[in-house]
Amino acid sequence: DAKTTQPNSMESNEEEPVHLPCNHSTISGTDYIHWYRQLPSQGPEYVIHGLTSNVNNRMASLAIAEDRKSSTLILHRATLRDAAVYYCILRDRGSGGGADGLTFGKGTHLIIQP
């Protein structure tokens, strides 16, 4: 899987929007962009994924740059419960049909201030 780069940590205030960036300058045309998060002492949790177009779901929005070399996970109104490590992961749909194991990096540790 191609490499991603994320800030080590970010801080935000409760009830404000949060924009978590991810750079993936070596992304290939068949790579999907996935986001997962891991709350303290819990298993990872799927957040969202996309290929080219921006995506929205009940948890978050994913904004993908036109050249696909970067993306941003948007939490529209952060709560204390959103404090977690957020991982940006590329998955090649070509090999294995997008079924390969996930390669987790260090992620971004999101701190939410009350």
Partner 1 sequence: NAGVMQNPRHLVRRRGQEARLRCSPMKGHSHVYWYRQLPEEGLKFMVYLQKENIIDESGMPKERFSAEFPKEGPSILRIQQVVRGDSAAYFCASSPRLAGGQSYEQYFGPGTRLTVT
CB atoms within 10 A of CB 7: 15
Q: Under DSSP, is residue 67 helix (H, G, I), strand (E, B) or coil?
A: coil
Any contact of residue 96 with partner 1 (CB under 8 A)? yes
CB of 110 to partner 1, least distance (A): 16
CB of 14 to partner 1, least distance (A): 26
The upper half-sphere exposure of residue 109, i.e. CA atoms within 13 Å in the direction of its Cβ, equals 4
Q: Among residues 26 and 95, whose Cβ is nearest to partner 1?
A: 95
Q: Which two tokens stand for residue 106?
A: 């260090």
Binding site for partner 1 (CB under 8 A): 32, 34, 38, 42-46, 49, 51, 91, 93, 96-107
